[in-house]
Amino acid sequence: MLARQGDTAAFDALVVRHQGAVYRAALAALRAPGEAEEAAQDAFIRAWSRLSRFRGDASFKTWLLTIAWNRAMTRRRGLTHWLRRALPLEHAASVTDRQPRPDDEAGASELRTHIAAAIEALTPKLRDALLLARSGDYSYEEIAAMLGTSTGTLKWRVAEARRKVRGRLAALGYVDA
Amino acid sequence: MRDDTESRLDDAIDNVARSLIAGDPDLALREAVRARVERPAAGRRLWLYAATASAALIVVALTWVASNRQPVPEVSTPMAAVTEATPLAAPAVEVFPGSSIDVGRASGPPVARIPVPAALAVAALTEAPLQIDLLDVVPLDVEPLEIPQIAVDAIGVEPLAMQ
């Protein structure tokens, strides 16, 4: 790997290839775009400084995502994040509105708001698992490596997160047709 | 990556979950990373130059100190002029009649202790017995001591009157 030998251009190509996945992983952890970008930047710099330690046991993407997740977790535990916490729910609604789906119907916006609130109310472990698994960027193996758990535990967390969200929606009167 | 228990609500949940972390990073991310990756490289070169210069200065300073150091003066007194010290004589121990030198037998070299004239000590005790005339005994003149009432209350007993 050229980047491993100090080739900054080669590393720049890696940044371009993985910046989206790294950013979205950080966003799943921090729930704030600005902080997610800072965490992603930190992750790339740390990866650059530790490239010599990358042994190739895992894929570079998994290794990079693990670094990014750890950086995001460090930020999440920090006071600054606590002060800037709480991504406005309107952000979620606006994002969904930017990507209209054909099966959208009247009242869907309200449902999305309730779902977003239910997801926010999940415990961090369940919420992390659900957001990462549903992002479409990562395989279960990659997510399990990031979170430091097994794929079996990860799948249980995702299913449990959906079950809890469904329960909350059922309490609001939403039932499957 | 879907479970078997899919439903319409599950679809909605997945869509919202996906939307919560949707989006791409700002274009500035790549530039920021590149700037931070290249800046330390230049910084490392500067550190290398500074470290090399510092090491060279230290070597020059040590060389200068070594070349200007004063030689250690030689010992002025030759070994041949040193006289040998003669050992001191052991102190003489006086032995009283009727006693003997008690020599310790513990570990280490034997140590002589000062002899005790046992016969003289016994004579001093037996030849001059103590004689006390009871008529010479005079009682001490003691003033009555006043006991505070609080102490009396604490003890609970009336102290004897002192004459």
A37 touches chain B (CB under 8 A): yes
Q: Give the list of residues 6+ apart from residue A54 with CB closer than 8 angstroms, or none.
A: A4, A47, A60, A63
Contact A12/B at CB under 8 A: yes
C-alpha A141/C-alpha A60 separation (Å) is 13
Indicate the residue among A87, A113, A134 that finishes a domain: A87
Does A68 have pLDDT greater than 80?
Answer: yes
pLDDT, average across residues B7-29 = 87
Is residue A109 located within the same domain as residue A81?
A: no
CATH number at residue A38: 1.10.1740.10
Contact A31 B17 (CB under 8 A): no
Distances (CA, A) of B123 to A91, B118, B131: 117, 9, 17
Output the six-digit token pair for A166: 């469904």
Chain A residues in contact with B17 by the CB 8 A cut-off are: 119, 130-131, 134-135
- Could you tell me if A80 and A34 are in contact, meaning their C-beta atoms sit under 8 angstroms apart? no
Q: Is the pLDDT of residue B3 over 50?
A: no
- Together in a domain, A5 and A76: yes
- Domain, as residue range, for A144: 105-177
Is A98 part of a structural domain of the chain?
no
Inter-chain residue contact B16 with A112, CB threshold 8 Å: yes
Question: What is the number of domains present in chain A?
Answer: 2
Q: How far apart are CA A173 and CA B9, in angstroms?
A: 12
Residue A37 lies in a domain: yes
B144, pLDDT greater than 90 = no
* A127 touches A48 (CB < 8 A): no
State the Cα–Cα distance between residues A113 and A95, nearest whole angstrom: 11
A80 with A127, same domain: the answer is no
- Give the burial string for B37-67 (b: 16+ CB within 10 Å, else e): beeeeeeeeeeeeeeeeeeeeeeeeeeeeee
* pLDDT at residue A28, rounded to an integer: 92
* Alpha-carbon gap: A57 to the closest alpha carbon of chain B (Å): 24
Same domain (yes/no): A10, A83: yes
Residue A73 — very low, low, confident or very high, per pLDDT cuts 50/70/90? very high
Higher per-residue pLDDT: B37 or B123: B37
Mark whether A23 and A69 lie in a shared domain.
yes
Angle made by CA atoms B105, B111, B114, in degrees to the nearest 5 = 115
A86-100, A154-168, B24-38, B78-92, range with the lowest pLDDT: A86-100
CB count in 10 Å sphere of residue B145? 8
Inter-chain contact A95–B23, Cβ cutoff 8 Å? yes
Q: Are residues A78 and A160 in the same domain?
A: no
pLDDT at A130 over 70: yes
ipTM of the complex: 0.79
Residues of chain A with pLDDT > 70, as a percent, come to: 80
pLDDT at position B157 over 90: no
Q: What is the mean pLDDT of chain A?
A: 83
CB of A151 within 8 Å of any CB in chain B?
A: no
- B38-54: per-residue pLDDT in tens? 876 555 667 778 888 88
- Rounded CA gap, A174 and B10, in Å? 12
What is the least distance, in Å, from the CA of A85 to any CA of chain B?
A: 15
The predicted model gives B82-90 an average pLDDT of 69
Q: Over the stretch B113-122, which tens digit does the pLDDT of each residue have?
A: 666 566 655 5
In this prediction, residue A84 carries a pLDDT of 65
Q: Which of A35, A95, A101 to mutate to test the interface with B (most CBs of B within 10 A)?
A: A95
Is a pLDDT exceeding 80 seen at residue A55? no
Q: How close does chain B come to A79, measured CA to CA in Å?
A: 22
Question: Which residues have a Cβ under 8 Å from the Cβ of B143 and sit 6 or more positions away?
Answer: B162
**Residue B69 pLDDT exceeds 80:** no
Residue A43 lies in a domain: yes
Say how far apart CA A131 and CA B23 lie, in whole Å.
13
Could you give the CA distance from residue A69 to residue A131 in angstroms, rounded to a whole number?
13
Confidence of residue B1 (pLDDT cuts 50, 70, 90): very low
First to last CA, chain A: 53
Best mutation target among A67, A96, A104, A127 (most B Cβ atoms within 10 Å) is: A96
Same-domain pairing of A78 and A21: yes
Judgement on whether residues A113 and A79 belong to the same structural domain of the protein:
no
Of the partner residues B3, B20, B41, the one whose CB lies closest to the CB of residue A119:
B20
Same-domain pairing of A13 and A53: yes
Q: Are A139 and A176 in the same domain? A: yes
pTM: 0.56
A152 assigned to some structural domain = yes
Q: A12: nearest CA in chain B?
A: B34
Domain stops at, among A30, A58, A87:
A87
Which CATH number characterizes residue A137's domain?
1.10.10.10
A97 in a domain, yes or no?
no
- Taking the CA atoms of residue B114, residue B117, residue B118 and residue B119 in that order, the dihedral angle to the nearest 10 degrees is 170
A120 falls within a domain? yes
Chosen for mutation from B10, B19, B31 (greatest number of chain A CBs closer than 10 Å) is B19
Examine the fold and report which residue of A58, A87, A116 is the final residue of a domain before the chain moves on.
A87
Q: What percent of chain A stands above pLDDT 90?
A: 50
- CB–CB of B19 and A96 under 8 A? yes
A111 touches chain B (CB under 8 A): yes
- Residues A72 and A116 both lie in one domain: no
